[in-house]
Structures are given as structure tokens and as C-alpha cells.
Amino acid sequence: MSDAMKRTDQHPLDDILRSDRLPHIWCATCGIGTVVKCFAEAIQRTEIPLDDVAVVSGIGCTGRVAGYVKLDSYHTTHGRAIPFATGLKLANPRLKVVVFSGDGDLSAIGGNHLIHAARRNMDLTVICVNNFIYGMTGGQAAPTTPNTANTSTTPFGAFEPPFNLQKLLEACGASYQARWTSLHVRRLTNSMTEALLKPGFSFVEAIAPCSTLYARRNRLGSGFDLMKFYHDNSEIQHGADPREVDISFQDSIIVGKFIDRERPTWQQLNDAQHNRSLGEKYFRHDIVEAGGEVSDA
């Protein structure tokens, strides 16, 4: 138990959350806050020094996460959290760099970066809050919106085939992949802990309710009803074939840890190839060495 947790005048997560920014902007019964709480606990559990953790977000409801964590945190442009995080990680490999963003930000406008970061096995942990919709802009369809769902831009029902992000990233080469709902706080926290400690590209998808827009437009009931739906319809299948975990409208949600495999990271591949080609001439270089000094050496 950390010192912060023993003290009675502090919330156990005060050391990780920016309490001076509360209250947050998220709606009542939104799932993002729960996912952030799981993340904060996972970070504590990994015992990675908080000074060494950086969080990068894009734009959208989940994009605001960077602003609520008391870590080096960067709220960037729409879809570009992953390339920003890539630069951050390569400049200072000592950092644990986490991308925290939504399904639209990561898989629509940022889709190209998502697949290439997985292909490179860039050493990043990507936490994707998937609420099937664009919340911040008022409930438009996303690449993850299940067929027939009503959104403000599919008023007669969504008809485009949605992304199964797990299948996409398995094909690209991610090292670690898991999916839970915001109801599964313990399992989600466990998976985040594993993902944070896993070298290479790790991806945790957190299915979360957007009651203000998605649930209301589709008459799915209250926040409690949404949690009950997750409870009754989530099916834990560790090691499930990512090709088989599509999500259909108000149908069962396959959750679990799907992928956990060993692949060299971009940095390891870069070093290995240059070592092979250049031998002693290759100068393995960390732009920032321990202590945070800018080094030319």
C-alpha cells in the first residue's frame, strides 16, 4: 500500500489524478471515468515511477483524459496521439508512454497511425475507450458503430460494416490485446497492468457506455440498465480468435485477453539491424539519458 493510500485526508488516487481540475467534463454514467480509475490503479500496481509515465491523448471525450492525470500529459490533435507518443518514446526510451483516446480518434482519423504503430510494435500502451459513437461532437456514427444503431448521422440506422479493432490489430502485429467493458473494473485493471508491463505495442479496448447520446438515441435505458446489459451479455473468452469477436448491436460482447505474444519492438529491431550492418560503428543512442538531460552523446 502506498503512502497516499494510508492517509485519511486524501483519496488513494490523488497522487495520479489532477484533483485541481475536478469536476471533469464527462456526463453522469459515462464510462470514461471508470476506465481512468482502472488506469490509475494499474499504474500504481506496476510500481513504475510516476515521473516516468507520460500520457498522450487525441481529441474527443476520451481525449480529455490527458488533462485529468497528474503525469506528464499531452492533449494533442485529432487522431495524432500515436505519432506524438512515438516521438516521445523514441526521444526518451526510459518513459512508459500511454496513449489514451477514443474509438473515433484512434480508428477513424488516426487509423493509419494505429495500424502502423502496431506493425512496428512501437513500445506504447494504447487504451481505447470504445463507446461506438462520437460523443464530443454530438453523437455521430463512428467506424465502430454497430449496424442498425441510430446516431445523429445515421438517423435511419448505421449500415457500414464496423471495425473489429481486435482483428485489425492482431493482423497488424500488436504484442498484447485485451477487451473488457467498464463494468469489469477488476479485470480491466488487471489487463491494463499487464499491458503497461508488456514490451511493444499493447492495446486495451474498454467498451464503455455513452448514455447521453448512444444509449438515449437507441433507447437502451439508464446507466444502470447499461451496466446490467454488460453484466448479462459479456462473455469471457481468453485467447478467443480476434476474427471472431465482432460486436453487433445489443448482442453479446466477447471480452478477455486475446493476444499476448513476444515480438521485438521497433527500437530493438532498429538496434539489431544497425548492429548487424555497422558493427562497432553503430552508436546506440538514447537522446535523453537517465536524469532527463539533453545529451548529444
Interacting residues with other proteins (CB under 8 A)? 18, 21, 50-52, 54, 56, 66-67, 70-77, 80, 82-92, 94-95, 112-113, 116, 266, 270, 274, 278, 281-283, 285, 287-288, 292, 294, 296-297
* Nearest approach, Cβ of residue 271 and other proteins (Å): 10
* Nearest approach, Cβ of residue 79 and other proteins (Å): 8
* Nearest approach, Cβ of residue 270 and other proteins (Å): 8
Q: Which is nearer to other proteins, 239 or 291 (CB)?
A: 291
Residue 250 Ramachandran class (φ > 0 left, ψ -120 to 50 alpha, else beta)? left
* Nearest approach, Cβ of residue 168 and other proteins (Å): 15
Which grid coordinates belong to 283?
552508436
User: In sequence order, what E strands does the chain have?
Assistant: 53-57, 72-75, 96-102, 125-130, 133-134, 140-141, 176-181, 202-207, 234-236, 253-260
CB 239 within 8 A of CB 193: no
CB 30 within 8 A of CB 61: yes
Q: Which is nearer to other proteins, 243 or 285 (CB)?
A: 285
* Nearest approach, Cβ of residue 121 and other proteins (Å): 13
Q: Which is nearer to other proteins, 157 or 264 (CB)?
A: 264
* Nearest approach, Cβ of residue 144 and other proteins (Å): 21
Which grid coordinates belong to 166?
481486435
**191-211 core/surface letters (b: 16 or more CB in 10 A; e: else):** bbbbbbbbebbbbbbbbbbbb
Q: Which residues contact 224 (CB under 8 A, 6 or more apart)?
A: none
Q: Which is nearer to other proteins, 87 or 161 (CB)?
A: 87
Q: How many alpha carbons lie under 13 Å from residue 165 in its C-beta half-sphere?
A: 36
Q: Which is nearer to other proteins, 52 or 246 (CB)?
A: 52
* Nearest approach, Cβ of residue 256 and other proteins (Å): 30
As a whole number of angstroms, the distance between CA 56 and CA 124 comes to: 10
As a whole number of angstroms, the distance between CA 239 and CA 242 comes to: 8
Q: Which is nearer to other proteins, 124 or 210 (CB)?
A: 124
Q: Which is nearer to other proteins, 228 or 285 (CB)?
A: 285
Give the chain's count of helices (H) and strands (E).
Answer: 10, 10
* Nearest approach, Cβ of residue 250 and other proteins (Å): 35
Q: Which is nearer to other proteins, 115 or 247 (CB)?
A: 115
Residues paired with residue 102 on neighbouring β-strands, in sequence order = 129
